Structure 1
């Protein structure tokens, strides 16, 4: 599997709510991250680099990133936890909670949580498989603090960490973080690692709810399995399509050959995932269109060509169906500059 096929993140609603807590406008963060305003759309998908850019922009707009991490974590409302976090919160004990968090977290972001128990300690390490740049320290801090917070709330015990190592550097004093974690913090470390006392993993959760887990666990496991199966074929098909769009309309025979299967097998696999080759081609073109239009250096003729359309009018018609707008108007709205009339003047019904 190529990394590009799975490097997809939907910005969690909690991120935008967190900005409001510090009176920071979403538009300011998006602009500073140099991303299109379309990321505000709940269906918009970003990659790891773009996700990091949003968090880095957020950290640069707050006065005290370390204090911000603590406030975001302690201000978490248990009643508003999504199912993938609600299940860990109602686990049998802290170890069970961490294992569930590591398993279900991958449903929303391509992030791996490794739990290593050795001797009297337990190390939790974070890894972003598709990252080609360091993780923003504030993002890592929020993740680590959230893992400890679940243990504290679930057990009702004010547990502290043995150590916290961050590979990046904070632009503010880390004292609020050291007070929260109850340990010294090492910056500029080789990796991001939270080290806990292994004995704390055995602490039973007062929030344990067996009945709720019986409902949540099968549903989450089913969603995770379906997501993994779906990504293993549909995302790979879309990635191949996106790679070959500029050479013309992707052919099912070519895509099937690259996947090492027959046309009929590919069609059956897509049907099993409740989609079709035509539907995926539409999605691939739509996603790439938004990506290309977010690049102001590409004119609309180039965008149409890169998407594999024989002429601009076909691209405009398709885009109107996707966004109910013309490409130039969409670009103007989402990139924040006046529309340049590149829409062909001789095409009635396209303006």
Structure 2
């Protein structure tokens, strides 16, 4: 079974045209991002290139918040790829959001979870590339598009209940005016909270015939991608996304994959590996990646890969590399940080 690479992101055909409609020339964005102009015609890019494109748009737009709002409110739905277009023709807001969460699996680099609790619906974003910082504007535009989806679909000016960002987002007052609620920054997560009753609102754009055409094709594509992923590869990806919250366990990872603990362990056994072995691999790979970032203290690296005790990290790293983290960093960090994208793929995904 081949491993599905999560470091290839498809650029929709309408992406560059949408930015052009905002008065931003694609070649200016490519140059600002430090990328060759050929990136404009490439169907896919890697995560680093994708982030660079969004960072360039952010810098050319000025304030992060205002650039985010401008794109969210101006971008035409006709420019969206089928994975997003299908959500605009869903039966109601809830159906649209769940379709978005499902089809996000075809559109790295973010993962979207929906939790309805009491009178609230919380939609949280997690970024798959734990070793690369996501541009704030990309985080903001992703949450803004989710609210914009409800507004355009229902024909109502819906408001969020709370918006949380893990990092500064520019003009907070502008964001609060757009979302219609309090906006918190540096909250530790990226989350859009909606009034749960709004999810029952029907979509004026509901198109059953179009969904009958789009949905089967999207499901076949999704099943193909999921079928091509090794379970061990998906387990390691989930682990790497979860380390900052502590050491992931079998139960939590199995739940993320929608299977029982026993099924997960059996599937890993079929791939000649185990949960503990993958946990060790994931920690080792992330430790090397974080140690290459000289701005991180070693105690921060220990925390980022799920060690509460710095001494436990030191002992584990000695077992992996035969040296201390500090010595390894001195000898390898510069060269390791300069690895080509293909080498990064090999280290992160097996």
TM class by smaller structure: 0.5 to 0.7
Partner of 1:32: 32
Asked if the contact 1:154/1:206 (under 8 Å) is kept, the reply is: yes
**DSSP-derived class of the 2:122 partner:** strand
1:147 maps onto 2:143 in alignment: no
1 CA distance for matches of 2:230 and 2:98? 23
CA-to-aligned-CA distance 1:76-135 (integer Å, 9 cap, x gap)? 323343221121111111111000001112213232100011111111111112231332
Asked if the contact 2:2/2:228 (under 8 Å) is kept, the reply is: no
1 CA distance for matches of 2:87 and 2:217? 14
Partner of 2:210: 212
Asked if the contact 2:4/2:228 (under 8 Å) is kept, the reply is: no
Partner of 1:177: 175
2 CA distance for matches of 1:87 and 1:204? 15
Partner of 1:9: 9
CA-to-aligned-CA distance 1:266-304 (integer Å, 9 cap, x gap)? xxxxxxxxxxxxxxxxxxxxxxxxxxxxxxx9xxxxx9x
Query: Cα distance 1:231–1:26, how it changes in 2: closer, same or farther (>3 A)?
Result: farther
**DSSP-derived class of the 2:51 partner:** helix
1:225 to 211, 223, 227: 223
2 CA distance for matches of 1:59 and 1:185? 19
**DSSP-derived class of the 2:124 partner:** strand
CA-to-aligned-CA distance 1:184-226 (integer Å, 9 cap, x gap)? 2111220111111111111111222222212211111011112
1:88 maps onto 2:87 in alignment: yes
2 CA distance for matches of 1:210 and 1:12? 24
**DSSP-derived class of the 1:87 partner:** helix
2 CA distance for matches of 1:4 and 1:132? 18
Query: Cα distance 1:210–1:19, how it changes in 2: closer, same or farther (>3 A)?
Result: closer
2 CA distance for matches of 1:120 and 1:12? 35
1:190 to 179, 182, 188: 188
Query: Cα distance 1:58–1:81, how it changes in 2: closer, same or farther (>3 A)?
Result: closer
Asked if the contact 2:12/2:80 (under 8 Å) is kept, the reply is: no
2 CA distance for matches of 1:219 and 1:86? 13
CA-to-aligned-CA distance 1:241-264 (integer Å, 9 cap, x gap)? xxxxxxxxxxxxxxxxxx77xxxx
TM-score, with length taken from structure 2? 0.61
Query: Cα distance 1:44–1:79, how it changes in 2: closer, same or farther (>3 A)?
Result: closer
Query: Cα distance 1:76–1:92, how it changes in 2: closer, same or farther (>3 A)?
Result: same
2 CA distance for matches of 1:214 and 1:50? 35
Asked if the contact 1:161/1:196 (under 8 Å) is kept, the reply is: yes
Asked if the contact 1:164/1:193 (under 8 Å) is kept, the reply is: yes
Aligned residues: 240
1 CA distance for matches of 2:51 and 2:219? 28
Q: Give 1:2 shift.
A: 11
2 CA distance for matches of 1:131 and 1:4? 17
2 CA distance for matches of 1:4 and 1:217? 22
Q: CA RMSD in A?
A: 3.1
Displacement over 6 Å in runs of 4+: 1-4
TM-score, with length taken from structure 1? 0.61
Choose 180-189 or 14-23, whichever is displaced more.
Answer: 14-23
Asked if the contact 1:134/1:168 (under 8 Å) is kept, the reply is: no
**Which entry has the higher C-alpha Rg, 1 or 2?**
1
